[in-house]
């Protein structure tokens, strides 16, 4: 993994520095948005976000991804110091085409976990190893993690990186995503208090 490019990125949530990381062996690129100075690297407000073309770009109402990303950017910007990792892990690691295939299965009555499994995948195939490497490269030693996912807590720990606190990042359910969010809570252990 190499840090391939860096620039300033003004956004509606404030100014960030954007760092693009490349993995030469796979051609994958991952992004880190950094607000302020990392300083001693301790207790850095952090969101580890997996790519979601449908939610982040097209504002799909099927999931809570886009609103979570934007809320995380606002929280980091308001705090004045933090990191948003945007990892290339579409559809919990199954890729965009398979994610859309899973959507089609959901339209037939499968939930999000059943759809992934029917396609031959695990419920969640993501690997946060590269995220840990990026955070370490940025000088982060411990995070205050913006996440509802308990697996992410252990996924972004190791190699000298720790999570000191989990901060919820809940988005209100809608008619389109209530079943999806309930499945994440009941089958994947996501800590969602509003359902």
The runs of H, that is alpha helices, within 23-165 are: 65-79, 90-93, 96-107, 112-118, 129-138, 150-155
- Confirm whether 126 is a catalytic residue: yes
Residues 91-110 have a mean pLDDT of: 92
Q: What is the DSSP letter of 57?
A: I
Is there a domain that residue 136 lies in?
A: yes
Whole-prediction pTM value?
0.89
Please provide the average confidence, as pLDDT, over all residues in the chain.
90
pLDDT, tens digit (0-9, with 9 covering 90-100), for 13-45? 999 999 999 999 888 999 999 999 999 999 999
Is there a domain that residue 134 lies in?
A: yes
| Dist CA 137 CA 127 (whole Å) | 17
95 contacts: CB under 8 Å, gap ≥ 6? none
What percentage of the chain carries pLDDT values higher than 90? 66
Number of domains in the chain: 1
Say if CB 113 and CB 183 are below 8 A apart. yes
Give 179's pLDDT tier (boundaries 50, 70, 90).
Answer: low
Say if CB 138 and CB 32 are below 8 A apart. yes
CATH number for the domain including 58? 3.40.50.10990
Highest-scoring range by mean pLDDT, 76-85, 101-110, 144-153, 181-190: 76-85
| Dist CA 167 CA 176 (whole Å) | 25
| Domain encompassing residue 168 | 2-89+126-188
Is there a domain that residue 43 lies in?
A: yes
Is there a domain that residue 115 lies in?
A: no
Q: Which residue of the set 81, 126, 127, 166 is catalytic?
A: 126
Say if CB 187 and CB 180 are below 8 A apart. no
Q: Which residue of the set 92, 124, 137, 159 is catalytic?
A: 124
Residues counted in the chain: 195
Say if CB 85 and CB 138 are below 8 A apart. no
Is there a domain that residue 28 lies in?
A: yes
80 contacts: CB under 8 Å, gap ≥ 6? 35, 36
- Confirm whether 75 is a catalytic residue: no
Lookup result for tokens 């001693």: 40
């Amino acid at each position: 993994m190499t840090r391939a490019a860096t620039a300033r990125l003004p956004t509606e949530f404030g100014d960030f520095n954007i760092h693009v990381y490349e993995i030469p062996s796979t051609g994958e690129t991952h992004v880190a948005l950094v607000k302020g100075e990392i300083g001693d690297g301790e207790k850095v407000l952090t969101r580890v976000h997996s790519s979601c073309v449908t939610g982040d770009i097209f504002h799909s109402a099927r999931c809570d991804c886009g609103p979570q990303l934007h809320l995380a950017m606002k929280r980091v910007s308001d705090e004045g110091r933090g990191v948003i990792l945007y990892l290339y892990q579409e559809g919990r690691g199954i890729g965009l085409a398979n994610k859309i295939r899973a959507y089609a299965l959901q339209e037939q009555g499968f939930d999000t976990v059943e759809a992934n499994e029917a396609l031959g995948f695990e419920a969640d195939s993501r690997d946060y190893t590269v995220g840990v490497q990026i955070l370490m490269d940025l000088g982060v030693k411990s995070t205050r993690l913006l996440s509802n996912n308990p697996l992410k807590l252990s996924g972004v720990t190791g190699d000298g990186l720790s999570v000191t606190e989990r901060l919820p990042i809940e988005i209100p359910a809608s008619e389109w995503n209530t079943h999806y969010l309930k499945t994440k809570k009941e089958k994947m252990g996501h800590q969602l208090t509003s359902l």
